[in-house]
Amino acid sequence: MHRQQVLVRVASVMGARPWLAPLTLAVSALARLVLSFVTPTGLNMVDLRVYTYGAASLSRGALYTFTFAEMTPNFPLPFTYPPFAALVFFPLHWIPFTALAVLWQLATIGALWGVVRISMQLMLGERADEPVWRGATWMWTALAVWLEPVRTTLDYGQINVFLVFGVLLAARTSRWWLAGALVGVLAGIKLTPAVTGVYFLARRNLAAAAFSVVVFAGTVGLSFLVVGDAARTYFGELVGDASRIGPVGSAINQSLRGVLTRFAGHDVGTGPLWLIAVACAAVLCVLAWRGLDGEDRLGTMLVVQLFGLLVSPISWSHHWVWLVPALLWLVHGPLGSTLAARITAATWLVVLLVGVIQLLLLRQPTIWDLNPPVLASIGGAVYPAGVAVILGLMVGQRRLLRRSTLKQLQSVG
């Protein structure tokens, strides 16, 4: 069936039953909550515990000596975010943890809906308000709850979906000061959203880029003012220390450094091998950006954020929430009618639903294993390899579109 015919049929169903798509998301969210209560580790949410218990340790002056080991004896978890994040998280420790866990999951799913909604708006403009696309937003969100990066974000009680939502809000707004403020605050909570400044530069939004730096500097200044000792420890000793965050070589680390470490059998650090890989990724991303249409805001954002994930020392599988907008771009973006994009999207969907990284972790002797079998090392490169395919499609976008248009004309003729 032709893509346009599918859309017409879906629009008809959505028009006749507008409640169906929201109900699907409600059922998906409810199933997720039930799973949390009926599985033995469903409410562990260890990262959320680190956020809350670690932030509470501010009152004792122990933010960066605090660790949580009750549920992770192999690796006591420290508080690894900037001190401004602890100030933001501090009120959470007044909420009973079970109630906080439920609220956190519901808020995460709500933010996930926002991620899908804004992604659609960036691709489709005003068409995103049509019933078929509103319905698609609900349905995609219901599915995305079960994709590996989101699933593990919910398992750990992570903040990743909120960060992606905030960055996409910054991309959607036409107010430079709001865009800059959003990214500056998010970077103050976790450094990784700072890469969004490259997106502002690519879009020639110099005011937003500059203001994001100013706001981030404000979060640092506030940290020194309120919790000076913690700020001096973080920015003077800890920032950039990847070993403190976790095992670089574990299969869950899907950055270039993680992949190279598993193949080499030792941490490659930021040496020549890593630098060559980063240079190759940078060239591919520049070519992808040049291959995109100038008005493709979501595509441009994906190039920037995927590059950030690749070159970061550690990019846990749950950091890769940006794969949700990437899937949407493959299916509904400019290449949505091409066979190459459809095959890529279908492959990604299988990988993320199956949870390839979680399967590799089950076969991994320990999280500190730096020398896995060759096949496991190849499987452990699945995210960066898949990202390379997406970027390759962007590089060849114009050629793929010309070929697709030619085939359509030939079929009509």
pLDDT tens digits, one per residue of 209-262: 999 999 999 999 999 999 999 999 999 888 877 667 778 888 999 999 999 999
Whether the pLDDT of residue 413 is over 60: the answer is: no
Q: pLDDT category, 10, cuts 50, 70, 90?
A: low
Question: pTM value?
Answer: 0.93
316 phi and psi, to 5 degrees?
Answer: -60, 160
Whether the pLDDT of residue 13 is over 70: the answer is: no
Sign of the Cα torsion 37, 38, 40, 45 reads negative
Helix H or strand E segment including 68: strand 67-68
What's the mean pLDDT in 356-382? 80
Identity of residue 66: F
pLDDT tens digits, one per residue of 298-341: 999 999 999 999 999 999 999 999 999 999 999 999 999 899 99
The two tokens of residue 147 are 């994709």
The two tokens of residue 73 are 């004896």
**Residues 16, 9: Cα–Cα separation, whole Å:** 11
Please answer whether residues 98 and 43 qualify as being in contact, where contact means their C-beta atoms are separated by less than 8 angstroms.
yes
What pLDDT was estimated at residue 277? 97
**Residues 352, 317: Cα–Cα separation, whole Å:** 10
Please answer whether residues 20 and 57 qualify as being in contact, where contact means their C-beta atoms are separated by less than 8 angstroms.
no
What's the mean pLDDT in 32-59? 94
What pLDDT was estimated at residue 239? 81
More confident residue, 156 or 411: 156
pLDDT tens digits, one per residue of 126-156: 999 998 999 999 999 999 999 999 999 999 9
Q: pLDDT category, 15, cuts 50, 70, 90?
A: low
Q: pLDDT category, 6, cuts 50, 70, 90?
A: low
**Residues 122, 333: Cα–Cα separation, whole Å:** 10
What pLDDT was estimated at residue 3? 59
Q: pLDDT category, 75, cuts 50, 70, 90?
A: confident
**Residues 331, 347: Cα–Cα separation, whole Å:** 12
Give the contacts of 51 (CB within 8 A, at least 6 positions apart): 79, 81, 85, 89, 92, 157, 159
More confident residue, 266 or 113: 113
What's the mean pLDDT in 341-353? 97
The two tokens of residue 191 are 């450094």
**Out of 56-60, 285-289, 321-325, least confident range:** 56-60
Whether the pLDDT of residue 371 is over 80: the answer is: no
78 phi and psi, to 5 degrees?
Answer: -90, 170
More confident residue, 413 or 329: 329
What pLDDT was estimated at residue 247? 84
Q: Read out DSSP for 100-138?
A: HHHHHHHHHHHHHHHHHHHHHHHHHGGGGGSHHHHHHHH
pLDDT tens digits, one per residue of 93-131: 999 999 999 999 999 999 999 999 999 999 999 999 998
Q: pLDDT category, 363, cuts 50, 70, 90?
A: confident
Neighbours of 71 (CB within 10 A): 11
Radius of gyration of the CA atoms of the chain, in A? 22
Q: Environment class of residue 94 by beta-carbon count within 10 Å: exposed (0-12), middle (13-18) or buried (19+)?
A: exposed
**Residue the block writes with tokens 């899907």:** 254
- What's the chain's average pLDDT? 91
Q: Is 2 helix (H, G, I), strand (E, B) or coil?
A: coil
Portion of the chain with pLDDT greater than 70, in percent:
92
Whether the pLDDT of residue 292 is over 80: the answer is: yes
Q: pLDDT category, 179, cuts 50, 70, 90?
A: very high
What pLDDT was estimated at residue 339? 93
What pLDDT was estimated at residue 12? 63
What's the mean pLDDT in 270-289? 96
Helix H or strand E segment including 76: none
